C-alpha cells in the first residue's frame, strides 16, 4: 500500500497556509534579506504567511543603543519599535510585499488604545493585507507607561477599537509579562479578536561583566530564543485549552521538534523569530524537517496534531 505524504496545509481562520510555519514580527525583513541573500526569496519564500515589523502611526527612532545582547540560549532586545510609520509602510513596503506568494499579516502598535483603531482603519483599505496583528507590548502613554497588554481592560479596549475599524482577520499578540495570561486572552477574544499570537518577549536585563552596568542602552529589554520556549509552550497550552480561538505559537522555536510541540500544545500555526538571525533560511529547514518527523511518527496531518497535548493520556 502506498502511504500518503503528511498534509502540512492548515487553515488559520480565512488564511490558507501551505504549512504551519510563519515568521515572528520584527525578526525577518524580507525586503532587506532579498537584497543580501542569494536565494530567490520572493519565489522560494520560506514562510506560509509574512508578518512585517510592527508599525506605529508616527515613525519612531527606537531606543538608545546598544539594543541587542546575546545571552546563554537567548537574545535580549530593546529595539523600542523603531519603524518608518504606517503611512510610509503602506506607500513604500506594501506594494512590494504584495508580490510575496503568502498572505501578509500587518502588525501595528501604539501608545494609546485609539492608535490601534486608527491603524486598522488605514489597513482595512489595503487589499494586500490579509490580517492585522495588534502588538500590545508597546508602553502605554495614557497610564503608567507599562505595556497596555499587561492589563486585560486596556487590551480589550485596543481590540474593540480595532474591531470597529476592520473586518480583516484580527490577531492580538499577547505579552507573557502578566500574572494571568488567560485573563488577557479572554479579554482580547471577548472584544472581538479572531486569533491570538502567544507570546511576545519576556522582560529581562543583562549587566556588563566588567562595568557591572546594564548592557542595553534602555537598561531592560525583552528576552527571546530557546531560553523562553518552556514559558511560551505553557502559555500556548493554557490559552488554547481555555479558549475556543486559534493560536499562533511562538517563543524559542529553533527545531522541527519545537514546531511539532507547539502544534501539540494547541497552536494552529507556529512563528519563528530569533532563529532567523542565526539562519535566515531556518524556516525552510523546519518545514522540511516537520514533514520528515510526521512521516517518522505516523502523523497524517498538521490539523490532526493540533492540541494533541490537551487530550487525556
Ligand atoms: C530583534 C527583535 C525584534 C522584535 N520586534 C518585534 C516587533 O516589531 N513586533 C512584535 O510584535 N514582536 C517583535 N519581536 C518579538 C518576536 O516577534 C517574538 O514574539 C519573540 O521574539 C519570541 O519568539 P522567538 O523566541 O522565536 O524570537 C521582536 C523580537 C526580536 C528578537
Give percent of the chain with pLDDT exceeding 90: 90
Residues 6+ apart with CB under 8 A from 249: 198, 232, 233, 236, 262, 263, 265, 266, 267, 269, 270, 271
149 Cβ below 6 A of ligand 1: no
User: Could you report how far apart the first and last alpha carbons of the chain are, in Å?
Assistant: 30
CA of residue 312 to ligand 1 center, whole Å? 33
The per-residue pLDDT for 38 is: 74
228 Cβ below 6 A of ligand 1: yes
Helix (H), strand (E) at residue 234: helix 229-242
The per-residue pLDDT for 100 is: 95
Whether residue 1 is contained in a domain is answered as: no
User: Average pLDDT of 142-170?
Assistant: 93
Helix (H, G, I), strand (E, B) or coil at 242: helix
Tell me how many domains the chain contains.
1
Task: Give the structural domain span for 94.
Answer: 10-310
CB 37 within 8 A of CB 279: no
Per-residue cell: 90: 503602506
Bridge-partner residues for 173, per DSSP? 135, 197
254 Cβ below 6 A of ligand 1: no
User: What DSSP letter does each residue of 25-93 carry, written as one string?
Assistant: TTS--HHHHHHH-SS-TTTS---SSB-PPPB-SS-B--SPSP-EEEETTEEEE-----B--HHHIIIII
The per-residue pLDDT for 50 is: 98
User: What is the pLDDT confidence band of residue 1, given thresholds at 50, 70 and 90?
Assistant: low
The per-residue pLDDT for 121 is: 98
252 Cβ below 6 A of ligand 1: yes
CA distance 71 to 225: 9
User: What DSSP letter does each residue of 183-229 carry, written as one string?
Assistant: HHHHHHHHTT-SEEEE--PEEE--B-TTT-SBSSTTS-EEEESGGGH
User: Average pLDDT of 184-193?
Assistant: 98
274 Cβ below 6 A of ligand 1: yes
User: What is the pLDDT confidence band of residue 119, given thresholds at 50, 70 and 90?
Assistant: very high
CB 120 within 8 A of CB 66: no
CA distance 284 to 278: 13
Of 21, 22, 27, the residue with max ligand 1 atoms within 8 A of its CB, to mutate for a pocket test, comes to: 27
User: Average pLDDT of 220-248?
Assistant: 98
- Tally of CB atoms within 10 A around 262: 30
CB 126 within 8 A of CB 16: no
User: Average pLDDT of 276-288?
Assistant: 94
CA distance 214 to 206: 6
CA distance 298 to 282: 24
Q: State yes or no: is 138 an active-site residue.
A: yes
CA of residue 36 to ligand 1 center, whole Å? 21
Q: What is the mean pLDDT of the chain?
A: 95
Residue that wins the pLDDT comparison between 232 and 140: 232
For atom 6 of ligand 1, which residue has the closest CA?
Answer: 26
pLDDT digits (tens, 9 = 90+) for 36-80: 887 788 888 999 999 999 999 999 999 999 999 999 999 999 999
CB 117 within 8 A of CB 161: yes
Whether residue 4 is contained in a domain is answered as: no
pTM of full prediction above 0.85: yes
78 Cβ below 6 A of ligand 1: no
CA distance 231 to 202: 9
Whether residue 45 is contained in a domain is answered as: yes
Whether residue 5 is contained in a domain is answered as: no
Closest listed residue to residue 191, CA positions, set 128, 122, 268, 116: 116
CA of residue 148 to ligand 1 center, whole Å? 17
The per-residue pLDDT for 304 is: 96
Of 21, 22, 24, 177, the residue with max ligand 1 atoms within 8 A of its CB, to mutate for a pocket test, comes to: 24
Whether residue 98 is contained in a domain is answered as: yes
Helix (H), strand (E) at residue 160: helix 152-165
DSSP label at residue 21: E
Label residue 257 left, alpha or beta by phi (over 0 means left) and psi (-120 to 50 means alpha): alpha
The per-residue pLDDT for 138 is: 82
User: What is the pLDDT confidence band of residue 2, given thresholds at 50, 70 and 90?
Assistant: low
Give the CATH number, domain containing residue 163.
3.20.20.70
Amino acid at each position: 500500500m502506498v502511504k500518503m505524504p503528511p498534509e502540512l496545509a492548515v487553515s488559520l481562520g480565512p488564511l490558507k497556509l501551505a504549512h504551519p510555519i510563519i515568521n515572528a514580527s520584527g525578526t525577518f525583513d524580507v525586503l532587506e534579506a532579498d537584497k543580501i541573500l542569494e536565494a530567490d526569496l520572493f519565489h522560494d519564500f520560506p514562510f506560509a504567511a509574512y508578518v512585517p515589523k510592527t508599525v506605529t502611526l508616527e515613525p519612531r527612532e527606537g531606543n538608545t543603543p546598544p539594543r541587542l545582547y546575546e545571552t546563554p540560549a537567548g537574545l535580549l532586545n530593546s529595539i523600542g519599535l523603531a519603524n518608518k510609520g504606517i503611512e510610509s509602510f503602506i506607500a513604500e513596503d506594501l506594494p512590494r510585499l504584495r508580490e510575496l506568494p503568502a498572505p501578509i499579516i500587518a502588525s501595528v502598535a501604539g501608545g494609546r488604545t485609539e492608535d490601534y483603531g486608527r491603524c486598522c482603519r488605514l489597513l482595512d483599505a489595503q487589499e494586500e493585507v490579509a490580517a492585522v496583528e495588534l502588538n500590545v507590548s508597546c508602553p502605554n502613554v495614557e497610564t503608567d507607561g507599562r505595556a497596555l497588554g499587561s492589563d486585560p481592560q486596556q487590551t480589550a479596549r485596543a481590540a474593540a477599537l480595532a474591531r470597529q475599524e476592520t473586518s480583516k482577520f484580527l490577531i492580538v499578540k499577547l505579552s507573557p509579562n502578566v500574572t494571568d495570561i488567560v485573563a488577557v486572552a479572554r479579554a482580547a477574544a471577548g472584544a472581538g479578536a479572531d486569533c491570538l499570537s502567544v507570546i511576545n518577549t519576556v522582560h529581562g536585563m543583562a549587566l556588563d561583566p566588567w562595568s557591572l552596568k546594564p548592557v542595553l542602552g534602555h537598561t531592560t529589554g525583552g528576552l527571546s530564543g530557546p531560553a523562553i520556549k518552556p514559558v511560551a509552550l505553557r502559555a500556548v497550552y493554557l490559552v488554547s485549552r481555555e479558549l475556543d480561538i486559534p493560536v499562533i505559537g511562538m517563543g524559542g522555536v529553533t527545531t522541527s521538534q519545537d514546531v511539532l510541540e507547539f502544534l501539540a500544545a494547541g497552536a494552529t500555526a507556529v512563528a519563528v523569530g530569533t532563529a532567523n538571525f542565526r539562519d535566515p533560511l531556518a524556516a525552510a529547514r523546519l518545514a522540511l524537517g516537520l514533514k520528515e518527523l510526521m512521516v517518522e511518527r505516523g502523523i497524517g496531518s498538521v490539523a490532526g496534531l493540533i492540541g494533541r497535548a490537551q487530550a487525556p493520556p
